[in-house]
Amino acid sequence: MFIRNERSIKEFIQNYPVVSVLVIINLILWFVVNFLGLPIGREIYYWGVGSNFMVAAGEYWRLVTPIFLHGDLMHALFNSFSLVLFGPALEQMLGKSKFLIAFFGAGIIANAATYLFAPLNYTHLGASGAIFGLFGIYTFMVLFRKHLIDYSSSQMITTILIISLVMTFLRNNINIYAHIFGFIGGFAIAPLVLTKVRPYSPWRNRRRYQDDDSLQFDPNRWNKKRRIPPVIKKNAFWILLGILVIFGLLSKL
């Protein structure tokens, strides 16, 4: 469910246009704000960064714009990596409109909670709250929509979520409110968007390649390679994946 099997970037963009556009916007804005050093970059940053003081002054767009801004390159890259990893399955299952509602709904809830509970002089940026919202939706699946998520994926989500939530309280410079309320927001939105959806299938987007025998699904293909126990491969993948995702989500907000 979370292992990407697209053959090219072009195929990924065609299959998951919403996730692709969000990632492209994140990276372009980081480049403009942090790398070019032009006045427009500074203007974008000061206009869009999350600021409780400015929200209190009536600039309510700052409940949305911080989702697109990131501090340093690693922050932008790993949040984008997290979106590429966890977004496609939900985009396919929910459809473009409901995915956008879920992503921005959780992100806005996270930023609104930051405004309500953090000090007035608090500033923040990053998509971590929205990404934790995706975790909230997956957690709702694990608990109440088990037919929509396979066992390995549910284990992976549970493991990464627990570690991320624990590290949220152990690391400095983390927007705890965004993480916690982003997750709660996603969990609350889940029953509204998980209606009339089918489980994720990596083959659903490849129906136009049905004439290519190499792309046909072989139900016995998982039984052909048994020299290395699958559990070892899966655990190794989870460990590496978990480290990358946690570093991204817990980067400077």
Q: Is 243 helix (H, G, I), strand (E, B) or coil?
A: helix
Residues 111 and 61 sit within 8 Å (Cβ to Cβ): no
Round to whole Å and give the CA distance between 253 and 244.
16
Round to whole Å and give the CA distance between 125 and 64.
10
Of 20, 80, 128, 154, which is the active-site residue?
Answer: 128
Residues 206 and 159 sit within 8 Å (Cβ to Cβ): no
Locate the DSSP E strands across the chain. 50-51, 123-124
Round to whole Å and give the CA distance between 188 and 67.
19
CA angle 48, 32, 135 (to 5 degrees): 60
Of 70, 75, 124, 179, which is the active-site residue?
Answer: 179
Angle between helices 176-193 and 128-144 (to 10 degrees): 50
97 in active site: no
Count Cβ atoms below 10 Å from residue 22 Cβ, excluding itself: 24
51 in active site: no
DSSP 4-47: ---SSHHHHHHH-HHHHHHHHHHHHHHIIIIIS--HHHHHHHHH
Q: What are the structure tokens assigned to 111, written together?
A: 């930023």
Residue found under tokens 């990404």 = 131
Q: How many CA atoms lie within 13 A of 219 on its CB side?
A: 0
- Active-site residue numbers? 128, 179
